[in-house]
Structure 1
Amino acid sequence: MAEMAELSRIDGRTKLAKRLKAADARRREIADGLLADLHRVPSMRDQIWAANTAALVLLAEQAEARGEDSAELRRQVT
């Protein structure tokens, strides 16, 4: 019985790790796209702006996927 509990814990961690990895990849994809649209070498300010904007977009996407209202998050993005 203890082995089953241990296996489910490991599996849960693996699922969580996969979700976190996918979310991080999506956030990086958004940030990289924003920086590429600048058509110049991004400054530190640009990089911070892109990272923050990407995080807000990702939160809005996740809220929408759960069926929640994301209007405030989308407003902050714009």
Structure 2
Amino acid sequence: MQKIDIYTKGYCPYCKRAKSLLEAKGAAYNDIEIDKQPELRDSMIARANGGSTVPQIFIGDTHVGGCDDLFALEANGKLDALLAG
């Protein structure tokens, strides 16, 4: 299974939804809470090519994007392959 980083904020419903999908897939992820560690926000934005909203999701070396992007991968049958690497 690929390494997963997800940048989140505790009160974000989209973050919770994205994490729920990953958990349903049995995927372990590194939850980087930028509301608790605001110094990591700039590195998130740089890594996401300017993406400043949460969640920002990375699976392996792939920048997935946000919650809607993650669910689009699932709907198109591509999430499992990306998670597997």
**TM above 0.5:** no
Choose 1 or 2 for highest CA Rg. Answer: 1
Structure with the bigger percentage of helix:
1
Q: TM-score under structure 2 normalisation?
A: 0.29
* Greater RCO, CA 8 A, separation 6+: 2
Q: TM-score under structure 1 normalisation?
A: 0.30
Structure with the bigger percentage of strand:
2
